[in-house]
């Protein structure tokens, strides 16, 4: 572990990091991609252009510096990032590349404040962190490989079914091309797919939540078409039934963790319903008398995915209650039939379903989740009963 002198030096650089802000990590990524362009086949370049990934990395670096003497506080973040890394097949040797560019960035941007002592301290600190990640990721790779239906690296899957769920969301059912069983997963986890195509400049890796309960035979992902999304548009427009896709084992640290006797409230907006569907279908398959609540928000009926599926489940399962918000109902949308409330989601409208004993899982746009978290905290729900997933680079709510 780190000695007290190194810890003191790292903490002394916190003002430098904060003054640089995300510009530090933007410079880091530009430098790394310039010197190691092969990494463009791994990183999601859309998140680079949006600034989401540099911001997420800056927050992680700053958090590491601030907790350098209490690494236990970072356990949750390490677990989340390690799962993400295995979804991109990150290997130990790539940590050396990242470390060299991180130190060079500090030297180039820090000026005279970044002395040899500072660089040596950060080299030691990065080495400790890299060892932690390499160890945990190795464990995850091995766990996935040795379980029934498991594998390491990529495995070829065939598009068995392609189905439009709304104007923007399409589901893809993937079956293993080798005909063998598939690895089980926790409801809420995601699948990583690797794509190459003449329309893509680089190999692209994307992660999509699994949108059904595990069955040992196949996987289902449900993908929203993004206006500027190269991969989502490729999947919607070009990938067809019978095509093959390289798939990594399912992973992720966001999943249903309550026992079947605990009330659960699943809250989503837009395509954020995908991990909720996996949780819902798993929970409905289990014997339970606990309340199960489905709260969903979308723009209008044409964008309301899985509407008939949820309605059918409510008819089959009396303990399941669904409430839906349309932000701007279309002319043909009928309140009481297609949706329950107009406008944005307000939990006060369903106060009878806000159980202090329940656990709450939510996913959707960042602003939506921030609002939901605030409403739940105001309703007296303890933080430890709130669970959420951010699509893309992680951000705290």
Question: Would you state the structure tokens that stand for residue 240, as one six-digit string?
Answer: 């067809």
Split at pLDDT 50, 70, 90, the class of 303 is very high
Q: Is 341 annotated in some ligand binding site?
A: no
How many Cα atoms are found within 13 Å in the side-chain-facing hemisphere of 57? Answer: 19
Q: What would the pLDDT profile of 147-161 be if each residue is shown by its tens digit?
A: 999 999 999 999 999
Is pLDDT larger for residue 396 or for residue 384? 384
Split at pLDDT 50, 70, 90, the class of 313 is very high
Whole-angstrom distance, CA of residue 3 vs CA of residue 135: 21
| Residue 260: pLDDT over 90 | no
pLDDT confidence of residue 174: 98
Do residues 191 and 181 make contact, with C-beta atoms less than 8 angstroms apart?
A: no
pLDDT confidence of residue 46: 67
- What is the CATH topology of the domain spanning 155-251? Elongation Factor Tu (Ef-tu); domain 3 (2.40.30)
The listed range with the strongest mean pLDDT (4-18, 88-102, 307-321) is 307-321
The DSSP secondary structure of 39-68, one letter per residue, reads GGGTS-HHHHHHTHHHHHHHHHHHHHHHTT
Q: Is 293 annotated in some ligand binding site?
A: no
Q: What would the pLDDT profile of 197-222 be if each residue is shown by its tens digit?
A: 888 888 899 999 999 999 999 999 99
Q: Is 157 annotated in some ligand binding site?
A: no
Split at pLDDT 50, 70, 90, the class of 110 is confident
| Residue 113: pLDDT over 90 | no
pLDDT confidence of residue 296: 98
Question: Would you state the structure tokens that stand for residue 152, as one six-digit string?
Answer: 């390491």
How does 21-44 read in b/e, with b if 16+ C-beta sit within 10 Å? ebebbbbbbebbbeeeeebbebbb
Q: Is 190 annotated in some ligand binding site?
A: yes
pLDDT confidence of residue 149: 95
| Residue 397: pLDDT over 80 | no
| Residue 393: pLDDT over 80 | no
pLDDT confidence of residue 54: 75
pLDDT confidence of residue 51: 60
274 in helix, strand or coil? helix
Please give the positions annotated as active site.
95, 137
Q: What would the pLDDT profile of 324-338 be if each residue is shown by its tens digit?
A: 999 999 999 999 999
| Residue 318: pLDDT over 70 | yes
Q: Is 171 annotated in some ligand binding site?
A: no
| Residue 341: pLDDT over 70 | yes
Whole-angstrom distance, CA of residue 287 vs CA of residue 65: 47
Q: Is 393 annotated in some ligand binding site?
A: yes
Q: Is 370 annotated in some ligand binding site?
A: no
Q: Is 360 annotated in some ligand binding site?
A: no
- What is the CATH topology of the domain spanning 4-146? Globin-like (1.10.490)
Q: Is 96 annotated in some ligand binding site?
A: no
**Mean pLDDT value across residues 271-300:** 95
What CATH code is assigned to 264-389?
3.40.50.80
The CA-CA-CA angle for residues 75, 79, 85, to 5°, reads: 140
Split at pLDDT 50, 70, 90, the class of 1 is confident
Domains 155-251 and 264-389 share a fold: no
What ranges do the domains of the chain cover?
4-146, 155-251, 264-389
Q: Name the least confident of 20-29, 89-98, 235-244, 351-360.
A: 20-29
Q: Is 52 annotated in some ligand binding site?
A: no
């Amino acid at each position: 572990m780190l000695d007290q002198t190194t810890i003191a030096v790292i903490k002394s650089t916190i003002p430098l990091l904060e003054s640089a802000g995300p510009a530090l990590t933007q410079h880091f990524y530009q430098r790394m991609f310039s010197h190691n362009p092969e990494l463009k086949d791994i990183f999601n370049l859309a998140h680079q252009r949006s600034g989401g990934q540099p911001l997420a990395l800056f927050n992680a670096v700053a958090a590491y510096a601030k907790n350098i003497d209490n690494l236990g506080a970072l356990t949750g973040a390490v677990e989340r990032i390690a799962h993400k890394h295995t979804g991109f097949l990150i290997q130990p040797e790539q940590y050396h590349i990242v470390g060299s560019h991180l130190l060079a960035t500090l030297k180039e941007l820090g000026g005279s404040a970044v002395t040899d002592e500072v660089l040596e301290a950060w080299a030691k600190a990065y080495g400790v962190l890299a060892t932690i990640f390499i160890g945990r990721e190795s464990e995850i790779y091995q766990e996935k490989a040795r379980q029934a239906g498991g594998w390491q690296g990529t495995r070829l899957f065939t598009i068995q079914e392609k189905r439009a769920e709304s104007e923007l969301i399409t589901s893809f059912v993937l079956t293993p091309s080798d005909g063998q069983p598939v690895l089980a997963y926790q409801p809420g986890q995601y699948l990583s797919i690797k794509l190459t195509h003449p329309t893509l400049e680089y190999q692209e890796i994307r992660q999509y939540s699994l949108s059904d309960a595990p069955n040992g035979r196949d996987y289902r992902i449900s993908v929203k078409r993004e206006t500027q999304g190269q991969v989502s548009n490729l999947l919607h427009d070009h990938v067809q039934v019978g095509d093959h896709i390289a798939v990594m084992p399912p992973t992720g640290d966001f999943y249903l963790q309550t026992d079947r006797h605990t009330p659960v409230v699943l809250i989503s907006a837009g395509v954020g319903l995908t991990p909720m569907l996996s949780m819902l279908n798993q929970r409905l398959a289990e014997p339970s008398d606990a309340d199960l609540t489905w709260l969903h928000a979308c723009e209008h009926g044409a964008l309301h995915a899985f509407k008939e599926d949820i309605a059918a489940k409510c008819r089959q399962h009396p303990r399941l209650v669904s409430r839906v918000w349309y932000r701007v109902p279309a002319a043909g949308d009928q309140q009481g039939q297609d949706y329950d409330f107009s406008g944005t989601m307000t939990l006060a409208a369903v106060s009878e379903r806000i159980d202090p004993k329940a656990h709450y899982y939510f996913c959707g746009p960042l602003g939506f989740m921030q609002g939901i978290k605030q409403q739940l905290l105001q309703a007296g729900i303890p933080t430890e009963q709130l669970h959420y997933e951010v699509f893309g680079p992680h951000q705290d709510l």
